[in-house]
Structure 1
Amino acid sequence: MASGAQTGTITTDIPARLDRMPWARWHWMIVIGLGTVWILDGLEVTIVGSMSAALKPEGTGLGMSSSEIGIAGAIYVAGACLGALFFGQLTDRFGRKKLFMITLGVYLAGTVLTAFSMNPLWYFACRFITGTGIGGEYAAINSAIDELIPARYRGRVDVAINGSFWIGAAGGSLLTVLLLNEAVIDPAWGWRIAFALGAVLALGILFVRKNVPESPRWLFIHGREDDGEKIVADIEKRVRAETGHDLPTVGETITIRQRTTIGLGLIARTVFTMYPRRTILCFALFVGQAFLYNAFFFTYGDTLTTFLGVEQTGWFLAIFAVSNFAGALLLSPLFDKLGRVPMITGTYVVSGLLLGLAGFFLGSFDAVTLTVAGAVIFFIASAGASAAYLTASEVFPMETRALCIAFFYAIGTAAGGISGPLLFGWLIERASAGDDITGIAVGYFIGAVLMILGGIAEAVLGVKAEGQSLENIAKPLTAADR
């Protein structure tokens, strides 16, 4: 496939102007408008995990077994993988803004339809559609955020935003405490209302997101440098007004051979030929975190209900979720101060070792101590897992950014996120026959090994990207001096 029609060669200082800006209210608008998608994802995943018991009865639920709940989780992740790949290439081709509006619309449609599920097959189909929208969001949003946030804040912002998944998780957990209370709401309606409320949140985000501009970096590469220049000038005007200070001048420029489209053949050669070490690194990071989180969290509510006698799992899941967000938020500044390599290595290896240790003592836990152990483990793991998305977004050229995020998300999540829920669903069902929670310990051990291997890969192959311009970490494919 051709690399796309070349439209001209320009020299621009847009990347340097974006990176030298101080933090201002305008940047908070970007964080709120784009970053809140992870809250939606956390809400979706937690509602499914918390409502596993509500989905099982024939009358008020959908008559689903533990295995079918695991299958639903796997279908959601499969949709996210395919959505990431499909919308990821469109994001690089047609722009960040067009796609992050479309993907939010797909999510909105999927979650509304889920609330009207009449049988497991309908539910599975709606979970697939919802996952497709969320997967597309990951590709479009991560690329847009990293291209708009100044270099010295990029690490902490990206890690904290990805960690905001757990705000949605905590909210979803507490929401189900109310919605699954039969004294308050008919059990036939509670779980449906929970999904419908996710759609309400998505509508609010849609209105905020309308004010987020297209990435100027994407615009000048695709022959629309005048539009990019206008957007940057508007941002500078707003930042000066908000901070009350003039902006420093910049002298760094980059020369670009513009193209209207970038061919998939060139993107594939970039990933596998030009940056093979970075490709291995991202694969290791995504597989580790995907198996760990999708396996543990998708089925955690079912584990508490099946083995530990917990009828209302919302409070336990909320505690677990708060610790995850706290870890991402509190540790995120260290990714800019200490650096990517030591932080990602440390969070992956330490959380992997602790998860393996928890597996050995699984039979000694009750609901409270298992939740406390999970909170400690995932306080550390959440920052590292969020940094996997940061890594994939930073270490490849701009023309391939969204598709690279999508590719590694899809491959890593397919390996860990689809197999994880299926494995844990099967382990839970088999272990429940003997009422022996230790039967699911093998899942903990697999997750521990994969996380440790991800940490080792970072130590050997990691990129020191802190404080650097995206164009210095990986030169654009269209750079004239390549």
Structure 2
Amino acid sequence: MITAEAETGRTVTSNIPARLDRLPWSRWHWTIVVGLGTVWILDGLEVTVVGNIAGRLSEPGSGLPISSGEVTGLAAALYVAGACAGALFWGRLTDKWGRKKLFMITLAVYLAATALTAVSFSTWWFFAFRFLTGFGIGGEYAAINSAIDELIPAHYRGRVDLMINGSFWLGAVGGSLLSIVALNTSVLPKDIGWRLTFALGAVLALVILLVRRHVPESPRWLLIHGREEEAERIVSSIERQVEAEQGADKAQGVDQGADQGADEAQGADEARGARLPEPPEGSELTIHQRRSVTFVEIARTVFSKYRRRAVLGFALFIGQAFLYNAITFGFGAILTKFYDVPTGSTGYYFAVIAIGNFMGPLLLGKLFDTVGRRVMISSTYLLSGLLLFGTAWLFDRGALDAATLTACWCAVLFFASAGASSAYLTVSEIFPMETRAMSIAFFYALGTAAGGISGPMLFSDLTSTGRVGDTVLAFQVGAALMCAAGVVAAVLAVRAERRSLEDIARPLTAVASAVAGAGAGAEGRRSGKGAAGSRAATA
């Protein structure tokens, strides 16, 4: 039942989603990728730096009375706990207040918290602001993934989402290399280097915040929340930019042998002729606008109507969280304890596996849009799990050294990274528009809490004992859960490739097609733009 407070009193018919999906790739889409996607670089930088500088922070003279175990265990768990809490808190507000407002606020929270981490003067201060840094990042996951999927055309959504989520590992590479400098006491004092790494994260966040001002609100969100005129202006502006870009590209192809005046005249004609195709026939959507959706409706939608998709979301998030914790938490301890790698050199090894992580989504991403979601999600999860089982077996037999272990990790994470990124893509696109951010937040929080809070505690204990069998067990736990998630994906994954979000999961506010004509005729507005221009009239 829709309460009077939740209604806006209007039924609107629009083809705005179809107009966004039929756009060719353009420079405007690259501005979205840069403005929104680069935040994962910060997350990768944060997580990696903390893991790599743990040894330096625990040494006398660092400025903090803290142990290495507290940094990689308690501080890491607090960061993840903050991210889970932040995802749930900000996720609800993202669906209610809009994507843009929240991806600005959450980045500002991250910026402030990481800057204050840099000036930590006691252990409790460090722990508190690690939690708050995660609190901001958790909100980013819900707001950013929602906005990206609602702004990127359906034909490119899979590869773009994977590439953006995979950019976390570019930050990991930067964090690894940065930690090498931070750990070098001949370059920076013990109590300064680690502070500067956090300060750099705050500076990068400020740059992203300035770039992000130019990213618009999601027209899909505006349409549902009674702001269809603003949505129309945004989409029309995007279309004009894309048309102008196509026209400019055509004008550049004019015969260079003609005289300059003829070139200019023909180029102008070509530019004027660069018109976008009409949206597909029957692509209009009729919705009854609402201001908000209750928690009861969200829970009923996710756990009753889409219960199979809910099982899929849980499996994917828990599997990838445990696999990554099995490898990344304690990777430095494994290298130093078993292979005598100096603490200051572990960053080089992690930079290598971070590159493997980024290459997975980059090279495999297109296949998620062509071969399809079900095949690619299940195969990346299963392959990474099986490869980790193989790595555990070789490690147990003593057949690996530091270089070959790193090579094995690279192979595992090449596939795991694409699979883990697809988890965010999956929960973002398989639930209705009104619940998108909250769904991302919910599955991220519960899956990450299971694998990201208990994981650091479990795996740091196993890998710090120095016993081969304990480390093998850590690998096997992560591998088993990844394989289990792959089997679930093979059965339950949704064939969402190249389909509009509204086709994959019909909005809760959508009016049945039989009612749409009458509803729109009685009280609605019709909004849509064809190739020749825009129209908006009271139906």
Considering the TM-score relative to the shorter chain, is it more than 0.5? yes
TM-score (norm 1): 0.97
Tell me which of 61, 64, 76 is aligned to 1:62: 64
Counterpart secondary structure, 1:59: coil
Structure-2 residue corresponding to 1:102: 105
Counterparts of 1:66 and 1:438 in 2: how far apart (Å)? 22
Report the residue type matching 2:205 in the other structure.
A
Structure-1 residue corresponding to 2:277: 248
By how many angstroms is 1:295 displaced? 3.8
Structure-2 residue corresponding to 1:332: 365
Matched, 1:423 2:425: no
Matched, 1:201 2:204: yes
Structure-2 residue corresponding to 1:10: 12
Counterpart secondary structure, 1:10: strand
Q: What count of residue pairs does the alignment treat as equivalent?
A: 478
Matched, 1:51 2:53: yes
By how many angstroms is 1:58 displaced? 2.9
Tell me which of 111, 114, 125 is aligned to 1:111: 114
Is the contact between residue 66 and residue 428 of structure 1 (CA under 8 Å) also seen in structure 2? no
Q: Pick which of 242-251 and 359-368 moved more.
A: 359-368
Counterparts of 1:406 and 1:38 in 2: how far apart (Å)? 16
Tell me which of 187, 190, 208 is aligned to 1:187: 190
Counterparts of 1:2 and 1:82 in 2: how far apart (Å)? 29
Tell me which of 495, 501, 508 is aligned to 1:464: 495
By how many angstroms is 1:281 displaced? 0.3
Counterparts of 2:469 and 2:142 in 1: how far apart (Å)? 37
Is the contact between residue 104 and residue 134 of structure 1 (CA under 8 Å) also seen in structure 2? yes
Counterparts of 1:126 and 1:302 in 2: how far apart (Å)? 25
Counterpart secondary structure, 1:442: helix
Tell me which of 358, 367, 392 is aligned to 1:359: 392
Report the residue type matching 1:353 in the other structure.
L
Structure-1 residue corresponding to 2:486: 455
Counterpart secondary structure, 1:67: helix
TM-score (norm 2): 0.87
Is the contact between residue 2 and residue 263 of structure 1 (CA under 8 Å) also seen in structure 2? no
Tell me which of 440, 445, 450 is aligned to 1:410: 445
Counterpart secondary structure, 1:313: helix
Report the residue type matching 2:36 in the other structure.
L
By how many angstroms is 1:61 displaced? 5.1
Q: Pick which of 396-405 and 58-67 moved more.
A: 58-67
- What do the CA deviations read for 1:278-329 (whole angstroms, capped 9, x no partner)? 0000000000011111342133223323332222211111101001101110
Counterparts of 2:275 and 2:56 in 1: how far apart (Å)? 57
- What do the CA deviations read for 1:177-198 (whole angstroms, capped 9, x no partner)? 1221111111211111111101
- What do the CA deviations read for 1:395-442 (whole angstroms, capped 9, x no partner)? 00000000000000000000011111111111133x13xxx3432221
Counterpart secondary structure, 2:11: strand
Counterparts of 2:297 and 2:51 in 1: how far apart (Å)? 41
Counterparts of 1:216 and 1:442 in 2: how far apart (Å)? 48
Is the contact between residue 143 and residue 437 of structure 2 (CA under 8 Å) also seen in structure 1? yes
Structure-2 residue corresponding to 1:306: 337
Q: Pick which of 59-68 and 469-478 moved more.
A: 59-68
Report sequence identity in percent. 60
Matched, 1:177 2:206: no
Is the contact between residue 66 and residue 425 of structure 1 (CA under 8 Å) also seen in structure 2? no
Is the contact between residue 63 and residue 121 of structure 2 (CA under 8 Å) also seen in structure 1? no
Consecutive unaligned residues in structure 2, runs of 5 or more: 248-273, 514-539
Report the residue type matching 1:378 in the other structure.
L
Counterparts of 1:26 and 1:285 in 2: how far apart (Å)? 31
The CA RMSD over aligned residues, in Å, is: 1.3
Is the contact between residue 219 and residue 228 of structure 1 (CA under 8 Å) also seen in structure 2? yes
Is the contact between residue 61 and residue 190 of structure 2 (CA under 8 Å) also seen in structure 1? no
Is the contact between residue 76 and residue 456 of structure 2 (CA under 8 Å) also seen in structure 1? yes
Is the contact between residue 329 and residue 460 of structure 2 (CA under 8 Å) also seen in structure 1? no
Consecutive unaligned residues in structure 1, runs of 5 or more: none
Counterpart secondary structure, 1:57: coil
- What do the CA deviations read for 1:171-214 (whole angstroms, capped 9, x no partner)? 11111112211111112111111111011110110011000000
Report the residue type matching 2:370 in the other structure.
K
Counterparts of 2:468 and 2:78 in 1: how far apart (Å)? 25
Matched, 1:87 2:90: yes
Structure-2 residue corresponding to 1:446: 477
Structure-2 residue corresponding to 1:157: 160
By how many angstroms is 1:66 displaced? 4.0
Report the residue type matching 1:449 in the other structure.
A
Matched, 1:369 2:370: no
Counterpart secondary structure, 1:277: helix
By how many angstroms is 1:2 displaced? 6.2
